[in-house]
């Protein structure tokens, strides 16, 4: 039992920050601590299942499943709110080109399937190699690489402006991105 405690303490100290960042990028900073604490609770309960050599992909996969539960719960909550007739409006301020680019990328990312989003996030945000990302997604390394390639193509297509938007942008020049367009 003492060995388990020491192993878990080391696991927690070494990987807490990475798992917290992973969760925060997916469910936000407010919900991330709860998701991460659940992930480490699962790790403690299933410590024998946690790989000794490279536990981070296992922790990411566990967190990913907990996040899926969180997202389903948010969906249920949104449906209840809609039934009650409440309208929640989210407004993002446009302070700089960086924010505009981030919104544009997040919008394009949101148009992709959850599997495409996860493949891209694991590579770009988490910096995982194909082997570790495949472990998180529960597929082979080759399948992950194919998913990532296709997800990148779909993201590039989603980032392309619509043909009529290109014409409007050309006609308006710098005014095309001002105001509420």
Residue range 107-141, pLDDT digits in tens:
888 889 999 999 998 988 888 999 999 999 999 99
pTM for this prediction: 0.56
The single-letter DSSP state of residue 161 is P
Give dist(CA 17, CA 86) in Å, integer: 36
Give ∠ CA 75-81-86 in degrees, rounded to 5.
140
Residue range 64-78, pLDDT digits in tens:
999 888 778 777 777
Q: What are the structural domains, with CATH classification, of the chain?
A: 1-90 (1.10.1740.10), 93-181 (1.10.10.10)
pLDDT averaged per 10 residues in sequence order, the chain, 181 residues: 90 96 91 94 95 94 90 76 56 59 83 90 89 92 94 89 57 44 40
């Amino acid at each position: 039992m003492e060995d388990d405690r020491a192993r878990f303490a080391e696991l927690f100290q070494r990987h807490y920050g990475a798992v917290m960042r992973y969760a925060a990028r997916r469910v936000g900073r407010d919900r991330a601590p709860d998701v991460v604490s659940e992930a480490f609770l699962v790790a403690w309960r299933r410590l024998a299942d946690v790989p000794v050599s490279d536990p981070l992909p296992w922790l990411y996969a566990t967190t990913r499943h907990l996040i899926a539960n969180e997202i389903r719960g948010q969906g249920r909550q949104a449906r209840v709110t809609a039934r009650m007739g409440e309208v929640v409006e989210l407004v993002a301020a446009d302070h700089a080109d960086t924010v505009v680019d981030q919104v544009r990328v997040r919008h394009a990312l949101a148009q992709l399937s959850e599997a495409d989003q996860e493949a891209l996030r694991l590579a770009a945000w988490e910096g995982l190699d194909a082997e570790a990302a495949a472990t998180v997604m529960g597929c082979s390394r080759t399948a992950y690489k194919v998913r990532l390639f296709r997800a990148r193509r779909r993201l590039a297509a989603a980032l392309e402006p619509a043909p009529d938007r290109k014409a409007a942008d050309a006609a308006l020049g710098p005014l095309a991105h001002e105001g509420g367009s």
